Structure 1
Amino acid sequence: MQNTAPKIQSPRLLSLDVFRGVTIAAMILVNDPGDWGHIYAPLEHSKWNGCTPTDLVFPFFLFMVGVSVVYAMESKKATMPHGKLILTALRRTCILLLIPWITQLIFHPDGGLSHLRLPGVLPRIALVYFICTVLYLKTSQKTRDWIFVGALIGYFIIMTCIPVPGTGYANLEPETNLGAWLDRLVFTPDHLWRESHTWDPEGILGTLPALATGLFGIRVGTWLKRKDRDDSIKVSWMFTYGVIAVVLGLIWDLVFPINKALWTSSFVLYTGGLATIGLAICYWLIDIQGRKRFTYPFVVFGANAITAYVLSGFIPHYINKITLGGQSLYQILFAPYFSPVNASLVSAIFTVAILWLVMWILYIKKIFIKI
């Protein structure tokens, strides 16, 4: 990593920074409750099928990875060697892969390499980012659209038609679906999600539809970058695309349930549609109407998004180790003054505020940690 002041070569899309910042703040909020036993329902992931507001956070971020690829690569695509750009993307991908593995070794030294979880949020972001970058540099939008459709339909066929070895039939249950079987075969149970060891919500097969989420973002980013369309037309079509995608996702949900852990094709359409609508609203209010007063807190997060996410694993971990008189800060500051569920929420908001303060210091000092 390197700390550098930003070198802006083209106007930034402020609405994208804000949307990314909102998403990161939400990700920290839902990942760091004060008490995992007391959480408001909207701040929990769905048990299996279905979609809560929390389930929107990760696909929104992957969607923005796709949009960001367009804004980062459009001018470079025509002027720089593609091989150099791909090598840079590969270097960033390797760093993103290494961060969670090193973090696990720090937090769980007893487990060592023998119990290192290989899949995960950052590895999925890394793979989607790299593949999206290569596809954006080397293929046309029409080709990417076909890959998008092929990924969704192909994944549906794979998950619902191919019999699962050892089970004998295709199914979408947590431990017996084809993706879970493949993850156990490739990674072995010791290297899967610590809560289960029998399946992983960021497994191998799920990367295919996750790529489609990134391609959804590329499609929207390409549309936003067009110079032959008025802003009002862009926003209108973004709303239209978004609504159509949501409706298609809900229809597909009838036979291929919306499910974050499996990252089903219906989940891709549903969340991609909502992300498009959300970005359209931000684009209209911020970049077109110029309403920017409320944007600063979220831009602070959005400017160092990956850094904020990584630190959200470290800072709460060490805050929770602080004790006074044998009591944790949570027991001192929050538990005595709120109901259990509200104490958990206020603690999560406190964590967001602490991380925002760190990001604000980096922001005002113009330190932008680029991977």
Structure 2
Amino acid sequence: MSASQRIQSVDLLRGVTIVAMILVNNPGTWSSVYAPLLHAEWHGLTPTDLVFPFFLFIVGISIYYAYKNKKGNIQTYKKIGIRSLKLIALGLFLRAFMPTFPFIQSWESFRFMGVLQRIGIVFFITAVLYLNYNWKVLLGIALGILLSYWLLLGFVPLPNGMAPSFDKVANNWSMYIDSIVLGGHMWKPDYDPEGILGTVSAIATCLLGVLIGKVLDKPIERKASILVAIGLLFLVVGYVFSLWFPINKALWSSSFVLVTAGYATVILAIIYYIVDVKHWHFGRVFKKVGMNAITIYFLSGFIAKSFYLIPVGEHSNIHSWLYSTFFQYDFLEAKLASLCYALVVVLFYLALGNYLYKKGIFIKV
């Protein structure tokens, strides 16, 4: 998206989302974390569960603006493919090299899927669809994905004859397919939160972002109000749908797609009104992070894992030493101390985003 085309609120929301990702991924200790900063155990929704779908939703908006004047030719597909492969490669790098850096993780425990891998796959498929179909077809594809996913997980018996289930059990279609295709290469022995079917469902999240990008681009009055109305519609339909298909981030259930897209649209509408309509100076520091979102997210993961791996003394590493030395005090409650560590990490990356912005450094992935 060129500077002249940029919607300031999109960059700002992207930055807020990346900062939220860094916040929830970097507590002082995982044994002491406030509940809103953890994912739901299975069914349900916490503020942390909103972060990843928000980012994929914004990817969809960015796809709309980046390719609205592009043709679906070999050159364009090549650029899309290269960008997708870069994202996947960065995700695989974090997974393959970090557990025993600088040595490659053993093949037996190598995890194929992950956050950046899902972003890369979803970006590629959504961008190709956008270049080939109009908004009505894209909406139909998104709805088709959501309905098909519900029908498969809720009504189609498994090959062994077992009745399907939405629970965390072997006869859940999502977990069943992951166990067959991915085998031992999952996040946990029984499931992967970035699994195969969930990645297909995540395409619907991105497509809804594309459609909201189209609304943002229209020269219409009361655009913020229209966005709020669309967001509320997503929320109502999503929560009603959850009566039959529970909201579940690990499965990336259809109701989860609709509800998270609803929250994303409403929040974007509010930011759009404040920043792009009223032109109030709000949250510029987050916008600066949003201009280098993937770079900062990747660095946060790389540095955090390095801190766990580099030893300090015989029984400590950089992370535990920093946490115990500067944040663990008798007067500070354990969860608050853990949060303070995460906030300091966030401040570091806010400063980094500000520095890159001032220097005019924008690293495209």
Please indicate the TM-score interval, normalised by the length of the shorter structure: over 0.9
1:331 aligns to what SS in structure 2? helix
1:186 matched to 2:174? The reply is no
Q: What 5-or-longer segments of structure 2 have no aligned partner? A: none
1:279 matched to 2:279? The reply is no
Identity, % of aligned pairs?
40
What is the identity, as a one-letter code, of the residue corresponding to 1:213?
T
Q: What 5-or-longer segments of structure 1 have no aligned partner? A: 1-6
1:91 matched to 2:91? The reply is no
2:214 is aligned to: 222
1:290 aligns to what SS in structure 2? coil
Residue 54 of structure 1: which of 48, 52, 55 is its match?
48
- Relative to structure 1, is the Cα distance of residues 235 and 38 closer, same or farther in structure 2, using a 3 angstrom cutoff? same
What is the distance in 2 between the residues matched to 1:120 and 1:325?
32
1:307 aligns to what SS in structure 2? helix
What is the distance in 2 between the residues matched to 1:82 and 1:104?
33
What is the distance in 2 between the residues matched to 1:156 and 1:322?
47
1:159 matched to 2:150? The reply is no
Residue 363 of structure 2: which of 360, 363, 369 is its match?
369
1:288 matched to 2:288? The reply is no
Matches within 5 A, 1:16-35: 16-35=10-29
1:3 is aligned to: none
What is the distance in 2 between the residues matched to 1:301 and 1:34?
22
1:205 is aligned to: 197
User: Do the aligned partners of 1:175 and 1:199 also contact (CA within 8 Å) in 2?
Assistant: no
RMSD value over aligned CA atoms? 1.7
1:339 matched to 2:327? The reply is no
User: Do the aligned partners of 1:97 and 1:123 also contact (CA within 8 Å) in 2?
Assistant: yes
2:323 is aligned to: 330
Structure 1, residues 93-116: CA drift from partner, whole Å, max 9, x if none? 111111121222221236323321
2:294 aligns to what SS in structure 1? helix
Matches within 5 A, 1:347-362: 347-362=341-356
1:260 matched to 2:249? The reply is yes
What is the identity, as a one-letter code, of the residue corresponding to 1:239?
V
User: Do the aligned partners of 1:246 and 1:270 also contact (CA within 8 Å) in 2?
Assistant: yes
- Relative to structure 1, is the Cα distance of residues 167 and 348 closer, same or farther in structure 2, using a 3 angstrom cutoff? farther
User: Do the aligned partners of 1:316 and 1:351 also contact (CA within 8 Å) in 2?
Assistant: no
Residue 7 of structure 2: which of 2, 7, 13 is its match?
13
1:167 deviates by 6.7
2:73 is aligned to: 82
What is the distance in 2 between the residues matched to 1:188 and 1:122?
20
User: Do the aligned partners of 1:50 and 1:258 also contact (CA within 8 Å) in 2?
Assistant: yes
Structure 1, residues 285-308: CA drift from partner, whole Å, max 9, x if none? 00000012x322101210100011
What is the identity, as a one-letter code, of the residue corresponding to 1:135?
L
1:357 deviates by 2.2
- TM norm structure 2: 0.93
1:187 deviates by 1.3
1:313 matched to 2:301? The reply is yes
What is the identity, as a one-letter code, of the residue corresponding to 2:225?
S
Q: Which moved more, 1:128-137 or 1:317-326?
A: 317-326
What is the identity, as a one-letter code, of the residue corresponding to 1:103?
L
What is the identity, as a one-letter code, of the residue corresponding to 1:186?
V
What is the distance in 2 between the residues matched to 1:150 and 1:76?
26
